[in-house]
Structure 1
Amino acid sequence: MPRFNPVTDIPDLTGRVALVTGTNSGIGFQTVLQLANHGAKVYLTTRSEAKALDTIRRLEEVNPALKDSGRLQWLVLELSLVTNAKAAAEEFLKRESRLDILINNAAHLASEFELSKEGLSTVFAADHVSPFVFTTTLLPLMEATAKLPGADVRIITVASSQHFKALPTTKFDSIDDFRDKQCAPGANVNGMNAKFARYAHAKLANILFAKELQKRLDAAGVPILSISLHPGNIATEGAERVIRSLGGGIFWPVLNWVLLTSAQGAITQLFAATSSEVRREADKYKGQYLVPYGSVGQPSDIARREGLPEDLWVLTDKVAAEILEKGSI
């Protein structure tokens, strides 16, 4: 049984502002529901206004008390382009004077290789570079919030145990690493192995980002907690689409029976984002990689490689700056 029950263990979040990406379904939807149920004003992000309004309607159906409460707000965020992520973050900054909880939950799952018009692998852009820009643009507001009386500011990055499958040759010292096909020359770039290798590559970047962010926050004396996590193996709509696209549809009913539900999958990120234990034992949790249901896990050897988090940060910062200045790289 989970040691953290979101329904009973999330503290009162009245007066807090939270932002959760990727909320149309799955664990993002469940995360927004619990944060709002406990009093937070929650911005949910989807890729269109129509999806956002539909998500809010469904949340209000689950809990009618949320209707007209002002606790559900929305923001359009399309992570395939870095410029979109920057614009969305700047729009949020126009609307709010504080941000207590940021949960980078949205993810582009294993898919065919494609370069964005900005010159990046679409999976790596959506899962790492755009969230990096989104987060760092919001960071000054979160730093200001952390100075307020009684503040408890946290940045949660949803990674995956799939990061263990990242190639041992992984490095981050060239722009080419951000559009790497993650397969051997001549291999099928859209084969199952390559698709999952690209996803693993991006999820590894999530863990490295969270770790380096914490290091930089600590160095600056900012009491924000940065945590990455694996939410568990979950029966989400996105997971079903991937399995069926790979020809495994016949196995989905069995997988659906053994995988976690979305509500169970949301527990670890809700623990990381709200648990009083995490703040009380900050040195135990900050910069760490959590696994269900809120335990400190051991990431892969590559994720623990000395210097790799900083290499990724420096390269991402450089690539993002060039895209924002020139439109592509």
Structure 2
Amino acid sequence: MFWSPTFNPTTDLLDLTGKVILVTGGKDSKGVGLSTCKHLARKGAKVYLGARSEERAKAAIARLQEEGISPGTVEWLPCDLSTPQTAKEAAEEMLKREQRLDVLVNNAAILADTMIGVNADGITDSLLVNHISHYILTLTLLPLLISTSRLPKSDVRIVIVSSDGHRRSHAADTDISFKTIADFGKTYKEERMGPFARYTVSKLANILFASALQRRLSSPSSFPVSPSFPALDEPVDITVVSLHPGLVNTFADRLPFPAISGVLLGLVAKSPDGGAWNSCFAAASPKIASEPDKYRGAYLLPVGKIVAPSKNAQSEELSEELWATTETYVGGLKL
């Protein structure tokens, strides 16, 4: 965070008047998602805060209004990503509400599932929420994103919040695979840090999904038509970016001795407001608008710095494995 270029979300973002944006995972009053909503709303966008809890979401929106965000600028969208079915319902609700969608920020995530949880199909909670539910949400919203990209002066972006944690733990293993549904159910329960291992694998999946999606949008003729992806006659002008928000202090209260942990984290970690800057850059920086080809499929460190992700994250073979297996699993659900 110390070498990040100077960035100010008040002056360094596009005017977003008339734009519609959805940010998932914004219910927490101290979270990155809520700060992302705030900065983008201040630039004139109509922002949907995607969250499961109406009570917590509305409390968060009330806090934004106390900070000067006009009523009606940020609205709650029921968005429960804990199951594929509810993720689909969230997207369908968004389709009912809006005729355009300029930016989708896939921000919600499980940082550490405290139990070794798998769903009825044997898929880990981390991979389900952090990857599969966002895959369903994104592809259900894709026709609206595509139609918006064809409007005059459009600048449609899909932002996927990953983590540099994808370079760690089992996500960095040379033998990692996404060839089968069974690969989605590896819990690493034998590890001391099993929840972290599951998290890093899901963050690797975020980057692989972003690159696979960008390829399909940029070169649709190179891929067969599938049930989950619309048939496209020509490339689509949508920029997909994945990113690391930086180390952000949103969890000190869940650590032992939270008061002390908060002080120590404050020395090395960003505030949630600063943690939102990279997402805001990806969502609305004029630099991306002026050089979209440079940023399509890119992975960003704060703020707006293009870097190469891990070797696994750069693997087209691995990303296509992930896409195919996710598509097979989701297709079998018949949502």
Q: TM-score, normalised by structure 1?
A: 0.91
1:256-267 equivalent positions in 2, closer than 5 A? 256-267=266-277
AA aligned to 1:240 is A
Question: Shift of residue 164 of structure 1?
Answer: 0.4
CA deviation profile, 1:39-69 (whole Å, cap 9, x unmatched): 1000001111111211111110111x512xx
Matched, 1:280 2:286: no
| Gaps in structure 2 of 5+ consecutive residues | 221-234
CA distance in 2, matches of 1:123, 1:93: 26
Question: Shift of residue 257 of structure 1?
Answer: 2.5
Matched, 1:176 2:186: no
CA distance in 2, matches of 1:119, 1:58: 39
CA deviation profile, 1:171-218 (whole Å, cap 9, x unmatched): 1100011111135xxx25xx32x1111000000000000011100000
| Gaps in structure 1 of 5+ consecutive residues | none
AA aligned to 1:178 is F
Question: Shift of residue 250 of structure 1?
Answer: 5.0
1:105 aligns with one of 104, 107, 118: 107
CA deviation profile, 1:295-314 (whole Å, cap 9, x unmatched): 00121111112311111111
Aligned counterpart, 1:225: 239
AA aligned to 2:269 is L
2:143 aligns with one of 120, 140, 143: 140
AA aligned to 1:149 is P
Is the CA contact 1:81–1:118 (under 8 Å) kept in the aligned structure 2?
no
Higher relative helix content: 1
1:1-329 equivalent positions in 2, closer than 5 A? 2-25=5-28, 26-63=31-68, 65-67=69-71, 70-111=72-113, 112-165=115-168, 166-168=171-173, 169-182=175-188, 187-188=190-191, 191-192=192-193, 194-220=194-220, 221-236=235-250, 239-240=251-252, 243-244=255-256, 251-325=261-335
Percent of matched pairs sharing the same residue: 43
AA aligned to 1:109 is L
CA distance in 2, matches of 1:181, 1:119: 10
CA distance in 1, matches of 2:327, 2:84: 12
CA deviation profile, 1:60-110 (whole Å, cap 9, x unmatched): 0111x512xx21111111111011100110011011100000000001012
Q: How many aligned positions are there? A: 312
Moved over 6 A (4+): none
Question: Shift of residue 256 of structure 1?
Answer: 2.5
Is the CA contact 2:27–2:53 (under 8 Å) kept in the aligned structure 1?
no
1:310–1:177 distance in 2 versus 1, CA, 3 Å? same
Q: Could you tell which deviates more after superposition, 89-98 or 296-305? A: 296-305
AA aligned to 1:85 is A
Q: TM-score, normalised by structure 2?
A: 0.89
